[in-house]
Amino acid sequence: MLTIKRLIIAASLLGLSFSPALVSAEESRTQTGFCIRAGQVRTELNSKLSELESSRSGKRTEILNKLNERKTEQEEKVKEKRDEAKNKFEEASDEIRAEATTDAQKAAVAKFKAAVEAAMTTRKATVDAAQKTFRSSLQTLVNQRQEAIRAAAAKLKAAMAAAMTKAQSDCSAKVDPTTVRTTLNAAIKAAREQFQTDMKAVENIGQQVKVLAQTRNEAVKAANKAFKEAVQKAKLELKNVMVSA
């Protein structure tokens, strides 16, 4: 939003550039001086708008890069935890297998191991799907908001250009400088207000992101619950066999 505020400030400065206080008495009496000033201000404004557009583009790239960085970091952490959990499970399975002496016990251990591995696979698929949906939806929200901001900025820039073009055309047509200046300032004010209206219409995605995160978290919570229940069931079946055999 900092870049957007700068665009608004730049638009405001353009209006001030043609206020009576900033136009010399000599210029107000001659169309030529006023038109020269109009050309200078247009050049300066175009340069400023280009700089701000470049800054906004850089900010957009920065946001997307941060999203990708967070994605990579999360994936690495999840992989690390999964690998750790798998290693611990393998160690525990080996210990249980070593305690199995009868065929029934050995079969029960194999069944237990298969059941837990299946539960782990199911949980992984569910969590990965929830995370993928969250990231995809988040990317869509970010893209839509960025596109809306880009469109509003382009609309402002076009309105400013049209206002400047008319001012210079009026000067060439020898329209009274005061009239040209008044018309230009009115056009600039209207463009600035329209831009502010457009920006208010750009939806803040914060609440939507919270909803997406909540949906993902609920899916993960449900997957963990189902996993624990499956493991608990497998443990009970194994225990019954190990004790009775």
Using alpha carbons, list the distances in angstroms from residue 4 to 14, 26, 53, 192.
16, 36, 9, 11
- pLDDT exceeds 80 at position 32: no
Least confidently predicted of 67-71, 116-120, 141-145, 241-245: 241-245
Answer for the pair 52, 3: CB distance below 8 angstroms, yes or no: yes
pLDDT of res. 245:
58
Mean pLDDT across the chain: 82
pLDDT of res. 17:
44
**Choice between 7 and 172, residue whose per-residue pLDDT is larger:** 172
- pLDDT exceeds 70 at position 12: no
Sign of the torsion angle spanned by Cα atoms 159, 164, 169, 171: positive
Average pLDDT of the segment spanning 122-147: 92
Average pLDDT of the segment spanning 16-31: 42
Distance CA 135, CA 75 (A): 12
Distance CA 221, CA 187 (A): 55
What is the token pair recorded at 190? 């209207």
pLDDT of res. 35:
66
Helix then strand then coil, % of the chain, to nearest 5: 95, 0, 5
- pLDDT exceeds 90 at position 129: yes
Number of domains composing the chain? 1
Predicted confidence (pLDDT) per residue in 182-239, tens digit: 898 899 899 989 988 998 888 778 889 999 999 999 999 999 999 999 999 999 999 9
Distance CA 224, CA 214 (A): 15
| Residue bearing tokens 């591995």 | 117
- pLDDT exceeds 60 at position 19: no
Q: In which domain, by residue range, is 201 found?
A: 2-244
**CB neighbours (10 Å) of residue 38?**
21
Distance CA 139, CA 64 (A): 8
Average pLDDT of the segment spanning 175-183: 86
Average pLDDT of the segment spanning 118-132: 95
